[in-house]
Structure 1
């Protein structure tokens, strides 16, 4: 790990340092272990926005189990998805947001059954998650990697929506393009806030519309898919409104700045 990532690595990496004493080369070896289980996260497989240190630490846990097995010692790392009622997402009330991204909840019983199965099958790394792969593919393009190819559904005509919008933007005047981008962002925010789009004031700050930092991360992902434009979270939180955000998106996409603000719909 690099210096910065190493310093910020969360406890799930540093908490396993003592476990390394059970590997050859350490003086205080614990040779009588029959079971060694570490808890990781499925986000290790496709990343997690603004949590590189968390992803790296979980990757370390998977490597640790593989290393232990290579030296003849027990080791299983379980990569968890969202678990209802008990995990971080449940405690912090973000399960609905994760579901919209494509990560639905496991029940605690399902999680325990999956762990028991992994131990019974004696696997080094296993995972238990309920994932809507079609949805998460559209929200998080990073999942489209060769190692996950067997899980990702094939392209469907419904996936052409963003391409159609980009074609309309390419053939629109600057003012028309601003209206199209604002319409798209309004729908993105309405879906996240679970509100009728017509109720959103396009000239009001987004944080005043009820958008918090977690929702902003979700909006970043949805806007990326809808407009093929990378808008940082702070852009959402600092924009003077949906119209202002749409103008920023068009500039990032290389379109000419509109001469006037489109009418609010």
Structure 2
């Protein structure tokens, strides 16, 4: 039927935006000298990067620069002195420094070398950024060196003890119980209502029974604009009990022809903000809008998908009507590389994940209730230890709160991704913090696994 077919096509517009493991570089052998820009802040981060570079054959060179205060001539002279007689292979600086200022004063001989920003944030939110954990163990130092050596086609990567991660589109089914969907009511504040998208959003809210009112106490907020104003809005409404906090941004990085570094950076920063808010129990969602013809005729179906995504517990989704199988490989951006329609463009290792899930199910099918719990507990503790960089699963107390164990919003998402691969289950993005302890997570996973058709409730 045409109506049903149309709904199915619109349902296929929805994707989660998730940090997923990517194929790791094979070698980590650096050459030449690497400039580390030192502005007097974050000395531990620069020291860890210098250690990783030196361990893998490079020569770290620190150069003291104040990109906010020093004159252009002084900056250029210091850079020339630091680079004199050296084969400079790359430049690293801490996130938050003035990369535009640095690019403007680089001597000609090193103007074209790779420039990386490094950060110890929950997740990297800028193009050309490498996100690092608070402590770089040997595995992380090797992975950092490998990324520096081979470069990256990614807009940003995160290096963790459990692997190297990049942002990817993952198809998601938003057909949860409509009773859980966001239901606009009362006053809804729309920041950016003077934009074309904002005007459509406001019209839809009005049709749904809400009132786009910038002055009344809001039941929800919608933001269309730059990350800086989104952060300010999130702080402004921090004390309010809201039904939804929705950030809208253009989709960038899925199609190479539409790639824009500034847009990609803004999108990544909004996603990071949503995940931090979700980890704090706030109903935040970043929506990256790609080509959706429905917007030209009012956007009702797009807004229905946004309602569903809020209720589904998603932190970041993309909505795009794209026939990926018809896209030329050269036109595929990094964000879309894991989609199954792209065949060999997806991430290596997916077959192994399926094998791991099937192996787990076979082990559980032949075990009694006590053995099953022990098996799943081992899966949870082992992967939690891997994410946090512990040498043994013994470091993970099954009764401990995930926050107390050291999990952040990013590492909680890492654990969720690893458990989804290990079990073959579709897990909500916030499952780790919602269940709070490894023991509760084990019970949830056991209940989900025993509802599968091929796994009996008890071993015979």
Instruction: Report which of the two has the higher share of helix.
Output: 1
Instruction: Report which of the two has the higher share of strand.
Output: 2
TM-score (norm 2): 0.29
TM-score (norm 1): 0.46
Larger Rg, first or second structure (1 or 2)? 2
